[in-house]
């Protein structure tokens, strides 16, 4: 029996006891839970509904879900977790922490023989209605229960999203959540007044450890802009002197050398300066995403962007690989800084994945301090207008079919198989402030029928990305390969439903600025501890001035936030952009040493680095709850702070779930 069917039968049997006249429809994947709407506290019951959504979708795609939430959503979540464990899903568990940091003894791309890779399973697959399914051979196995690869049902996803949209505009719910958030802010200020000196004293007692030598991860940074402008300038000048006669571009069928490219612009190496490159964001980019995108072109010339910061060009991304490796070397030298770099897959052709993997393997672009995320720009309308794509399903096939092929038979794409071992997740990127002319609903065209000129809405992109990732993750898990998570740009601008989709489907999000305008969503993001990678300097140049940034407010209330750089090429000046980000935030918002170390600890928890690495960086019990999870000798975060966060979250969850339990008891007594 399928997992979803088991959950459905159990949930219906259990919840049937507690139904009352007024019902709030709350979906757990493949099961329609009808939570009683308490006459006196409907807002509390509705807030409990939100955490039910979060608990549902994450295990389906095998993303992590905080156990602490399960303690307060019993017996529903306990039973779901039990079913999940029976079906082989991974829950966070603590393990032995190595004495030394995990370091690769050999380069992971060297001397890899495809014949030594896992064999072909013989499976076949095809995409149906925007989601990958298996052919007739696999269907027989699927029916026998040997291959059960579930993904969220489209109708239930849309229904769930509509329920959440209705709840976040409900007046009593908004008032309740706003008051709880205000209470959390005030409570933290009281905690600081009472315990700030104790926290500082605890940090002083720790030998050797301070903010400079604790692990921190840049959880949101794009590879094409991971260097600062001075670094890029020096590299361009060095390349002009070292490779002047190398053919780097084809113009009208004729090869152009690097020297000829710059001569056509009437420029020499001596003429170049940071001001000439003109890649730094300024006051003119505020609310002008088009101007910001243009800043990616050195000297305003797209040809230079293609030559120096693209993986797919005439020189096969040679220069880009060199400069990325220089950034990696700087991270290794710093020892305590790590990055999760985003590389782009556009979905225009099937060979994009192979070209990207060949670039990484050929140029040995790897570091123990770096993991990759793959970002998919939401640009279907552009490609469709240019006749590069016939429909949206073709874009999905270009993105996901190579991943299924390499999972089924790693020997068919050996470089891609090696590259994917260091990819931790997917990102969805573009200007969120673009107006959306279509609302995702049951009448929306299926991907194969989406041939409109308008771009699909944000939630449409996210659902089909998530659905295919769910199937892919289950297949990869069965083959013993690591799985991926969804970590999109979300809530930087645009409509509020982006944050609803992000809450339901994402492991964590980038930006999340609009949560400051949505108290219900902000409160449930807090309850579920959804990670938010925030980039105040980036926001300051694009959407929100620095002093209005909600990061200090989120941090004080206990949301899982971390600091990230986004685009050092556009926003930063120094060789260590992440430290620059921490420095400015600390000065402007008067953060304490404990606050900074908590942000750094959050960044490691949110990151896609391995359990083994996190066990070393944070301590062997990092996956547990409360102060037991903390090792101040590694994190420099006092147990007092960790205990405060854990106790406060526990109290809030108890408040929410106590109303549900009380009403269930009342309903049972009424039946008696």
Which of 266, 283, 309 is the endpoint of a domain?
309
- Residues 366-389, mean pLDDT to the nearest whole number: 94
d(CA 642, CA 213): 19
Residue 205 in any domain: the answer is yes
d(CA 351, CA 34): 47
- pLDDT at position 85, please? 46
Same domain, 147 and 173: yes
What are the backbone angles phi and psi of residue 161, rounded to the nearest 5°? -65, -40
Same domain, 219 and 284: no
List Cα–Cα distances, 197 to 403, 529, 638, in angstroms.
52, 27, 11
d(CA 7, CA 64): 19
- pLDDT at position 481, please? 93
Same domain, 114 and 220: yes
pLDDT band at 121 (very low <50, low <70, confident <90, very high): confident
Q: pLDDT digits over 34-56, tens only?
A: 333 333 455 555 555 566 566 56
184 pLDDT higher than 80: yes
**Cβ contact 419:474 at 8 Å:** no
d(CA 578, CA 572): 9
**Cβ contact 264:277 at 8 Å:** no
What is the span of the domain harbouring residue 435? 106-224+317-567+589-637
- Residues 476-496, mean pLDDT to the nearest whole number: 92
Residue 121 in any domain: the answer is yes
Q: pLDDT digits over 139-160, tens only?
A: 444 444 445 678 888 999 999 9
Length of the chain: 672
- Which residue from 372, 501, 466 is spatially nearest to 425, judged by alpha carbons? 372
- Residue of 422, 511, 547, 654 marked catalytic: 511
**Cβ contact 582:595 at 8 Å:** no
**Cβ contact 422:108 at 8 Å:** yes
Q: Is 511 a catalytic residue?
A: yes
Please state the pTM of the whole predicted model. 0.85
Residue 671 in any domain: the answer is no
- Which residue from 66, 73, 61 is spatially nearest to 11, judged by alpha carbons? 73
- Residues 390-395, mean pLDDT to the nearest whole number: 94
Residue written as tokens 């874009």?
395
Same domain, 158 and 271: no
List Cα–Cα distances, 452 to 386, 430, 457, in angstroms.
13, 19, 12
d(CA 427, CA 505): 12
Same domain, 219 and 245: no
Least confident of 109-118, 230-239, 624-633: 109-118
d(CA 176, CA 49): 14
For residue 525, give both structure tokens.
């993001």
d(CA 335, CA 610): 17
Residue 672 in any domain: the answer is no
- Which residue from 360, 344, 471, 343 is spatially nearest to 408, judged by alpha carbons? 471
CATH number at residue 298: 4.10.800.20
Same domain, 398 and 324: yes
Residue 479 in any domain: the answer is yes
Residue 667 in any domain: the answer is no
Contacts of residue 208, defined as CB under 8 A and 6 or more positions apart, other chains included, come to: none
Q: pLDDT digits over 639-668, tens only?
A: 999 999 999 999 999 998 887 777 667 666
Give the residues across from 561 on adjacent strands. 532
Residue written as tokens 């209005």?
548
- pLDDT at position 286, please? 81
CATH number at residue 612: 3.20.20.140
Residue 80 in any domain: the answer is no
Same domain, 259 and 332: no
Same domain, 363 and 400: yes
Contacts of residue 55, defined as CB under 8 A and 6 or more positions apart, other chains included, come to: 28, 65, 69, 70, 73, 77, 80
Same domain, 158 and 270: no
């Amino acid at each position: 029996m399928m997992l979803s069917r088991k959950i459905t039968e159990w949930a219906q049997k259990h919840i049937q006891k507690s139904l009352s006249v007024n019902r709030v429809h709350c979906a757990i994947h493949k099961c329609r839970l009808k939570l009683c709407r308490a006459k006196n506290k409907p807002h509390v019951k509705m807030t409990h509904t939100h955490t039910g959504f979060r608990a549902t979708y994450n295990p389906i795609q095998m993303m992590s879900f905080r156990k602490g939430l399960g303690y307060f959503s019993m017996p529903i979540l306990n039973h779901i977790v039990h079913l999940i464990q029976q079906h082989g899903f991974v829950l966070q568990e603590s393990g032995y922490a190595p004495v030394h940091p995990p370091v690769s003894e050999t380069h992971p791309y060297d001397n890899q023989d495809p014949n030594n890779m896992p064999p072909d399973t013989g499976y076949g697959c095809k995409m149906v209605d925007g989601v990958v399914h298996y052919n007739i051979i696999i269907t027989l196995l699927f029916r026998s229960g040997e291959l059960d690869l579930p993904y969220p049902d489209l109708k239930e996803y849309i229904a769930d999203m509509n329920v959440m949209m209705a709840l976040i505009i409900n007046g009593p719910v908004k008032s309740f959540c706003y008051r709880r958030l205000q209470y959390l802010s005030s409570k933290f200020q009281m905690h600081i007044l009472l315990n700030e000196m104790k926290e500082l004293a605890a940090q002083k007692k720790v030998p050797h450890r301070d903010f400079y030598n604790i692990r921190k991860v840049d959880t949101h940074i794009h590879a094409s802009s991971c260097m600062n402008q001075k670094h890029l300038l020096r590299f361009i000048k060095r390349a002009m002197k070292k490779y002047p006669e190398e053919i780097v571009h084809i113009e009208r069928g004729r090869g152009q050398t690097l020297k000829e490219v710059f001569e056509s612009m009437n420029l020499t190496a001596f003429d170049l300066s940071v001001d000439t490159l003109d890649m730094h964001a300024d006051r003119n980019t505020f609310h002008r995403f088009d101007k910001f995108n243009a800043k990616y072109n050195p000297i305003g010339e797209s040809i230079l962007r293609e030559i120096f910061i693209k993986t797919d060009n005439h020189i096969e991304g040679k220069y880009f690989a060199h400069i990325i490796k220089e950034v990696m070397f700087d991270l290794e030298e710093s020892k305590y800084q790590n990055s999760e770099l985003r590389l782009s897959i556009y979905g225009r052709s099937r060979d994009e994945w192979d070209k990207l993997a060949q670039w990484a393997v050929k140029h040995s672009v790897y570091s123990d301090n770096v993991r990759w995320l793959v970002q998919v720009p939401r640009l279907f309308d552009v490609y469709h207008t240019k006749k590069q794509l016939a429909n949206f399903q073709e874009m999905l096939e270009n993105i996901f079919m190579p991943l299924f092929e390499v999972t089924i038979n790693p020997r068919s794409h050996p470089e891609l198989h090696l590259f994917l071992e260091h990819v931790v997740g997917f990102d969805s990127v573009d200007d969120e402030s673009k107006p959306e002319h279509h609302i995702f609903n049951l009448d929306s065209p299926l991907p194969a029928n989406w041939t409109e000129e308008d771009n699909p809405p944000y939630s449409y992109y996210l659902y089909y990305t998530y659905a295919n990732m769910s199937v892919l993750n289950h297949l990869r898990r069965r083959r013993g390969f690591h799985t991926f998570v969804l970590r999109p740009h979300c809530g930087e601008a645009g409509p509020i439903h982006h944050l609803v989709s992000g809450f339901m489907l994402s492991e964590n999000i980038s930006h999340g600025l609009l949560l400051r305008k949505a108290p219900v969503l902000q409160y449930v993001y807090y309850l579920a501890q959804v990670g938010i990678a925030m980039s105040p300097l980036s926001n300051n140049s694009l959407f929100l001035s620095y002093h209005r940034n909600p990061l200090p407010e989120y941090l004080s209330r206990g949301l899982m936030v971390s600091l990230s750089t986004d685009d050092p090429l556009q926003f930063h000046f120094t060789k260590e952009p992440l430290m620059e980000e921490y420095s400015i935030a600390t000065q402007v918002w008067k953060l304490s040493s404990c606050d900074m170390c908590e942000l750094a600890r959050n960044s490691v928890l949110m990151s896609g680095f391995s359990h083994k690495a996190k066990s070393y960086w944070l301590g062997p019990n990092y996956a547990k709850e409360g102060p037991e999870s903390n090792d101040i000798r590694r994190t420099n975060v006092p147990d007092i702070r960790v205990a405060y966060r854990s106790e406060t979250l526990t109290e809030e969850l108890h408040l929410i779930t106590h109303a549900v339990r009380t009403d269930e008891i009342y309903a049972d007594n009424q039946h008696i």
